[in-house]
A = this chain, B = another copy of it.
């Protein structure tokens, strides 16, 4: 018999702490809340009665009596994390403690439109539920990352450049028709990846973090005070269109000299092609011919690893342009960590080194003293991991008057 999750604000606060810590004692909860010990006892009793949390054995021995340790009862239910990319979809089923139970992936072109893609996703979720022997009535949440700008409260995408047919399509409602028990929530892929990093990746527990995705475009997901920061119109983090050269090349957005037009994957490929064709790099010419008259950013990365000076220079230039922009954002935002991810980040450490160099050259000492600039530790899983956590955040959210939509 499926149950609707019912959580009051105090229980919500405790669950938030338990989710953050994994396992807690009552003493941990006293330290981390404003609640009295008796209120904590009451909430814990209620949460155990509702089966949301459970004992997980005695705690560390600290001289006196061993205190009881609690954790989420992950088996109480499930969530699905969905990472819709431009040309592929990744899916994870996880329990309510965020532990992955099943995963699958498939090629799929987002340009086929929302009906095709969302049917495919829902079919696969159903199939995964069947294969794991779990009922769709235990699916409490679905988190979805999409490669376009999202109107978060409406649960739709807005004028997405690479998602024809998706503009305004009711994504959240579609999932809720398929899975009426589940709360669905959709967000921009970069926001979701940032959430993945702070909940399960290299940024675990970090409050103020910028996740920079470098691929065909460049975008940032911002974590501010531990939550996704979306900005006033939901378009915060659009750093790919920051101008770095007023008389630079024209970007598809209509402006000149945007960061992504000069430093993202396609620009790296073009500069590689130029070096190959102008005779500045025999290695790149070899890759160019092998690729049928085309160079991808990854080829430049491979050539750089082989020591090709032209390829190294191209990657250094891109890293420096990205680092210069990040230096300005560090002055403004003073984050604790910057995580570099996305397809082009695979071209290697030279990119990261150049980004770091540019940042350190420009940013004030106080704001870089404790700053870490690192590659994503979960790489291609950042999206689907974040989507699981997006779903969990929604599942464990207090019901508000506007029925869960924010």
Contacts and interface: CB of A to CB of B under 8 A. Distances in A.
Interface of A: 8-9, 31, 34, 149, 158-159, 207-208, 220, 222, 224-225, 229-239, 241-243, 253, 255, 324-325, 327-329, 331-336, 362, 364, 366-367, 369-371, 398, 400-401
B158 A366 contact: yes
Contact of A236 (B222, B233, B333, B401): B333
B238 A367 contact: yes
29 contacts: A8-B34, A9-B34, A34-B398, A34-B400, A159-B366, A208-B231, A220-B332, A224-B224, A224-B225, A231-B334, A232-B335, A232-B336, A232-B367, A232-B370, A232-B371, A233-B334, A235-B366, A235-B367, A236-B334, A238-B334, A239-B332, A241-B331, A241-B364, A242-B332, A243-B328, A255-B362, A328-B329, A332-B332, A333-B333
Contacts of A331: 238-239, 241-242
B334 A333 contact: no
Number of copies: 2
Contacts of A328: 239, 242-243, 325, 328-329
Give the secondary structure class of A's interface: loop
A241 B154 CA distance: 38
Given A224-B224, A398-B34, A333 B242 contact: no
Contacts of A329: 328-329, 332
B324 A243 contact: yes
A335 B243 contact: no
The interface centre, meaning the residue of A237, A325, A333, A400 with most chain B CB atoms within 10 A of its CB, is A333
A216 to B, nearest CB: 17
Given A34-B9, A34-B398, A224-B224, A364 B332 contact: no
A237 B332 contact: yes
| Top 10 closest pairs, chain A to chain B, by CB | A231-B334, A236-B334, A232-B336, A242-B328, A238-B331, A235-B366, A9-B34, A235-B367, A208-B232, A242-B331
A301 to B, nearest CB: 26
A322 to B, nearest CB: 13
Contacts of A333: 231, 236, 332-333
Contacts of A207: 232
Contact of A334 (B235, B364, B370, B371): B235
Contacts of A8: 34
A366 B158 CA distance: 10
Nearest to A159: B366
Given A238-B364, A331-B242, A233 B9 contact: no
Contacts of A241: 331, 364
Contacts of A158: 366
Contacts of A220: 332
Given A225-B224, A324-B243, A231 B335 contact: yes
A30 to B, nearest CB: 9
Nearest to A227: B225
Contacts of A324: 243
Contacts of A229: 224-225
Contact of A364 (B224, B253, B371): B253
Nearest to A368: B233
B236 A31 contact: no
Given A208-B231, A253-B364, A328-B328, 18 more contacts: A9-B34, A222-B332, A224-B224, A231-B334, A232-B335, A232-B336, A233-B369, A234-B334, A235-B364, A236-B332, A237-B332, A238-B332, A238-B364, A239-B331, A239-B332, A243-B324, A332-B332, A333-B333
